[in-house]
Structures are given as C-alpha cells and as structure tokens.
C-alpha cells in the first residue's frame, strides 16, 4: 500500500514538472500579484501557477498551456501565505471541522490541534481513522500528542497514557508534536517514563511543547535540558524574552482568558527584540465569541498595529510556525512545491483577506465565502449524541463536604470553608454559594461540594461539556438542577440553564456531548447568549465556558473537582474522594 502511494506521489510530482515544461495546464493562475517572499522578507511581483493543491511556479512567466486554467488578475492585490494557528484546542463547544472552515474564511488555513479529547472519547483506531478524515478538508489539519491527562482520573493514568498508546500517537503522520506538557512537575520529580516519551518524540523529529506559566529561569533551563522545544505561557514581554534567550520557540498568546498579545508585543519591543524568526502567535483554544472576527488575521492585525515590521508580522503567522514544525517544505510560504494556501489582501497592512485559497480550492473569493459542505461523517467515527442508561435523582444531591471551590477569576480556584447550609433544597440568594456536582457520564460515581463566585441566584445548570466528558452541575436549586439534567438528557448532551422551573437556555452538543454540530456563526451567538445570561445571574468574569471546562483541570491552581474527588493541586492529594453510586 505504501509503495503504491509513493508511486502515485511520483506521478503527481512529474505532472508538476510537466506544467513547467508546457506539457500540462495549471488549474489556477494568479497573475500580476505582489506576493510576500517570506525567505527574503521582500514583496515581489509575480505570476503564481497552481496545479490542484500545489504551487508549481512563482515568477515572471506565464505558462505555455493555460486554456483550461482559471486566470485571476491580482493587479493591485497582495498575496501572503495562509495563516497557521500553531496551538489550537478545537473542542471549545465547536468541533474541529467547524472551527477550521470558519477560520479559513478569514485566512487561517492550517491548524495544529490538541488530541486530548480524542483520548477520552475514542479508541485509538477510531481516533486515527478520524485524523485521516480531516484530510478531506480544504485546509491543513495537524495534531499533537498529549503526554498526560491534565486531570486526575478514576482509572489509572496508565490506561489512557501508556507507552504503547503515546508512541502510537507520536508515530502518526499528521501528529507533529509532543505535548503540551502540563505534567512537567512530574518530569522534574524524576518521571523517566515522561522523559522517554520526550526523547522518542525528538527521535522522530517532532518537537515537544511545554506548559510553564510563571516558571523561573532555573525551571526553564531544566526543561530545556530535558527536551522541551517551545512555550506559549509567557505573560509578560520579559518572560517571553527570557524564553527566547534560552532557545525556546515562543508563542505569544491572545486568547479569550489571556488576551495578552498587545501588551506582550509592546514589552518585547521595549526589551529590544529585533529578530522575530522564533516567535509565533496563538489564540490558544479560545471560546467561540472570541473568534467573531477571525483567528490569526486578528493576531496579525495586532502585531502590525503595535509596530512589528509587516514582513515579520505575516511570518509570525505562517513561515515561523511552519519552520518550527518542520513543515516549511509544505506550508508557510509562497514557493514551488508548497500547498496552495494563499491569502489575497486588499492592502499590505490589512491582513483580512478578500480571497482565500485552501489546498488550491477557493474558500473565499472577492469578499464572498464559498459554500463548502461538511465532509466529516461524525457518526461513522462513533461521535454522536449521548445516550444515558441511568438517571439522576434527588438522592444523588446530598451535600455534606465542608470544603468548596472559590472562583478567584475565570480559571483560578481556591479552597474555602463552606458556611452555607447545603442540606437545603435551595440555597438562599443572599450569598454567592451554589451546589457543585461532578457526575460520571456512565453514572457510576459522583463528587458533591459547593462553588463560590459562579452565581448568586441561578437555579440550575447542567453541562456535558467538561474536561473529561463527565457531567457538571451548578446551581442554587436542586429541583432546577434536576430539570436541567432531564432536558440535557433529552438533547443528547449539551448545556442547559434553568431558573424557577423554567428552561432559560439550551445548547445542544450532539457530538459526544462536547461539541456543537452546526455552524460556527450560530455557535458564536449561542455562546454570547450563555455568557450574558450567566453574567445576569451573578457570574462576575468573562469566560464561563472555560470556568466549566477547567473545574477538573489539575494543571491550574489551587483546588479542583475531579473523577477522583476534590484535589489539592499543589500537594497532589485527594482531600475528599468521589462517592460510588
């Protein structure tokens, strides 16, 4: 099979050369455009010939055969490589296909994606089959291989993250990185299994990304010695500069919970940075509303506005990422042999494309998005609506744990002593305490406690969207929480908000209870509606979707509710274990 594939690839390469020799006709010719040569950092006028999904020529000439080519006059237009999102978490209510195609209409034509959700939702063979299905899309989809679960699981971590499983992910052709490594404290504590996986990733020519917020110079140095290649957690220009000086590839973050890019660039320039070849930008898996105006095009616009030279601003969203991932022969530049991911701009300093080519196919043309039908058959990959063989009852809503979770901001949580009477069916509205319950999606265990700072009066919220796919319940009223559960169950998964016996909001997440099956534009409006509703009911921060997601994420301080129970993150201790049903 592999031999036949290479023979077919050889024929394709010969056909590329035949276009140059005048023996074959290109499919698209972009003539008289001014393109950014990201190798020389120069703007040059050229004609660009494309054969199906590949650029075959960039220069002054026109092809001998052009009768069957689509010829597009790009006079007065500027062409740059399709943008690359180098660090995507494509499961924040949206699904990877919806995110990729929506972002592509704004010029982001390549995504390097987290595989964490597939570890929880699919067997490996099904997951690998699904990775192959993404090759049908007119965008470039790549993945990274997680080395840890980012939470505490009921089953042993080794069941999901064993050496054979991790290595089988790393060996996939579309998996181009190991990480992001949230379990780095274990690595520093002597976890040689993690170190072996890092070494294997590097042996395969694949970099390893860290997750090192607030790390000291000593820690950053140790992690570099142990094989970590890149980092995206710098929160100041000084931290970003330190990472660059230590030899890291640095991703500057601009996300819904950390919209840091403007400040980072200002501070990096103030620090004297003049070379940007090892700098990328990422939106780090933002929630839907943050993407209303696009993805990497927004980051490029910020970089230009803050004074990054034009050529470097575009390279930070294309060439630099492709080079880091070893994909520069495929992506990140407009040159012969590369995938035809090209953005056509109205002006050099306006990164919002009027036309977009993805894999040689028009995704947007003359300011109009092309209709491209969805291509992923989710059900054939066992991604479908949830069906529950168990039911929630009032007996499950017994709360007696004395320790709860106090939201400090969207994602940081501290422990607090529960003073409210949680034996009542309804917690009074004179405080911001609420019931909090994490329920196994198979109905085998539960963790009951309280949460402070999420709402001061909402009756009930049920969410099958969570870090592990288990069910989150939050609210002041047990009957309202029960009603939210019943409606969520009818939907086959989703987020439901109830108050005083009335359903106020529902968002069906019919792809394994975690992802929306519709268009991104619809989802953006629904997420904005949810955020506004929760803020009306006392949620004091910006991003409730991330709050729900990270309730069980043990890579963040200080306390979390997990499958094992309530966890002290720093001490790595289970303070109150989960209850079997």
Q: CB–CB of 450/399 below 8 Å?
A: yes
Q: What is the pLDDT of residues 417-446, one digit of tens each?
A: 999 999 999 999 999 999 999 999 999 999
Q: Is the pLDDT of residue 5 over 80?
A: no
pLDDT at residue 9 in the model: 82
Does the global pTM surpass 0.95?
A: yes
User: Comparing C-alpha atoms, which of 75, 73, 51 is closest to residue 63?
Assistant: 51
Contacts (Cβ under 8 Å, ≥6 apart) of 416: 403, 404, 405, 406, 452
Angle, alpha carbons 326-77-136 (nearest 5°):
45
pLDDT, tens only, 540-562 = 999 999 999 999 999 999 999 99
The alpha helices in 113-155, defined as continuous H runs, are: 116-121, 124-133
The bridge status of strand 28-37 relative to strand 42-51 is: antiparallel
pLDDT digits (tens, 9 = 90+) for 298-320: 999 999 999 999 999 999 999 99
Q: Which of 221, 223, 243, 225 is nearest to 233 (CA)?
A: 243
Give the separation between CA 418 and CA 501, rounded to whole angstroms.
26
Q: Is the pLDDT of residue 155 over 90?
A: no
Q: What are 108's strand-pairing partners?
A: 83
What is residue 6's predicted lDDT score, i.e. its pLDDT?
A: 54
pLDDT for the residue 160: 84
d(CA 6, CA 4): 5
pLDDT of residue 457: 97
pLDDT at 2 > cutoff 70: no
């Amino acid at each position: 099979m592999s031999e036949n594939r290479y023979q077919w690839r050889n024929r394709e390469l010969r056909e590329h050369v035949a276009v140059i020799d005048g023996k074959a006709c290109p499919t698209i010719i972009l003539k008289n455009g001014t393109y950014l040569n990201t190798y020389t950092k120069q703007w040059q006028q050229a004609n660009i010939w494309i054969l199906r999904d590949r650029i075959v020529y960039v220069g002054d000439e026109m092809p001998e055969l052009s009768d069957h080519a689509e010829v597009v006059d790009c006079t007065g237009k500027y062409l740059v490589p399709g943008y690359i999102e180098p660090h995507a978490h494509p499961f924040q209510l949206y699904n990877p296909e919806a995110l990729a195609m929506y972002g592509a209409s704004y010029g982001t034509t390549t995504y390097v994606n987290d595989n964490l959700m597939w570890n929880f939702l699919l067997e490996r063979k099904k997951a690998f089959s699904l990775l192959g299905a993404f090759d049908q899309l007119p965008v470039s989809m790549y993945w990274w291989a997680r080395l840890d679960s980012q939470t505490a699981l009921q089953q042993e971590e080794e069941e999901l993250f064993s050496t054979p499983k991790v290595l089988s992910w790393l060996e996939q052709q579309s998996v181009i990185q190991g990480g992001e490594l949230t379990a780095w404290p274990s690595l520093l504590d002597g976890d040689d299994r993690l170190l072996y996986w890092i070494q294997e990733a590097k042996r395969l020519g694949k970099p390893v990304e860290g997750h090192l917020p607030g790390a000291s110079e000593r820690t950053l140095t140790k992690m570099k010695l142990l094989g970590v290649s890149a980092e995206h957690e710098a929160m100041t220009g000084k931290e970003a500069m330190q990472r660059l000086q230590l030899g890291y590839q640095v991703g500057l973050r601009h996300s819904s919970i950390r919209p840091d890019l403007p400040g980072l660039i200002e501070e990096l320039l103030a620090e004297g940075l003049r070379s940007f070849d090892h700098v990328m930008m990422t939106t780090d898996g933002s929630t839907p509303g943050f993407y209303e105006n696009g993805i990497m095009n927004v980051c490029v616009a910020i970089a230009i506005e803050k004074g990054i030279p034009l050529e470097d601003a575009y390279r930070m969203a294309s060439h630099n990422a492709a080079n880091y991932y070893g994909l520069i022969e495929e992506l990140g530049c407009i040159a012969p042999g590369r995938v035809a991911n090209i953005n056509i701009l109205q002006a050099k300093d306006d990164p919002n494309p009027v036309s977009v080519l993805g894999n040689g196919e028009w995704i947007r043309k003359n300011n109009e998005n092309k209709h491209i039908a969805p291509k992923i058959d989710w059900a054939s990959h066992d991604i479908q609506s949830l069906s529950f063989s168990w039911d929630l009852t009032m007996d499950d809503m017994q709360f007696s744990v004395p320790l709860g979770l106090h939201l400090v901001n969207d994602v940081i949580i501290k422990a607090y002593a529960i003073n409210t009477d949680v034996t009542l069916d309804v917690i009074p509205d004179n405080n911001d305490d609420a019931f909090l319950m994490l329920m196994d999606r198979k109905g085998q265990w539960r963790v009951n406690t309280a949460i402070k700072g999420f709402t001061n009066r909402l009756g009930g919220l049920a969410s099958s969207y969570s870090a592990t796919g288990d069910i989150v319940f939050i609210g002041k009223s047990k009957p309202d929480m029960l009603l939210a559960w019943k409606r969520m169950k009818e939907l086959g998964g989703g987020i439901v908000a109830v108050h005083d016996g009335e359903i106020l909001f529902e968002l069906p997440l019919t792809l394994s209870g975690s992802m929306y099956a519709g268009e991104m534009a619809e989802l953006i409006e629904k997420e904005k509606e949810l955020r506004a509703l929760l803020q009306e009911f006392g949620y004091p921060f910006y991003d409730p979707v991330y709050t729900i997601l990270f309730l069980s994420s043990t890579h963040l301080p200080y306390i979390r509710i997990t499958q094992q129970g309530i966890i002290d993150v720093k001490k790595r201790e289970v303070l109150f274990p989960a209850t079997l049903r």
